[in-house]
Amino acid sequence: MTEIKNINELLGKSLEELKNLKGTQKESFEQALKDAIKEASKVEEEAQKAIEAFSKGEISIHQVVLAMEKADMTLQTLIQVRNKVLTAYEEISRMQV
């Protein structure tokens, strides 16, 4: 969720302001993808823990369903980002130089 907040902050800035970002404010595309994959993995682990907790009777089925849906939505979003990256790569590779 922090990635969305970061994107919203960047959307209001001009190109010159973005070029002048320093330190932790500047993030590579590669690092953003790695962070998204780590976040998806973390959400998946939370869903697995919720399933285990339900089997022990510690939480309700509603909490399990919410955790599983969150994991599913995260995975679907990650798949869509991957598809867009592949489409962009294919389009760039077709460009004539």
User: Domain for residue 82, yes or no?
Assistant: yes
Q: Which domain holds residue 58?
A: 28-94
pLDDT in tens, 14-61: 666 666 766 555 578 888 888 989 999 999 999 999 999 999 999 999
Using DSSP's 3-state secondary structure scheme, residue 94 falls into helix
> Is residue 49 included in any domain, yes or no?
yes
pLDDT score at 97: 77
Q: Is 61 part of any domain? A: yes
Mean per-residue pLDDT, 56-77 = 95
Give a yes or no: residue 9 inside a domain: no
Q: Which of 85, 83, 3 is nearest to 42 (CA)?
A: 3
87 belongs to a structural domain: yes
What is the number of domains present in the chain? 1
**Do the domain assignments include residue 33?**
yes
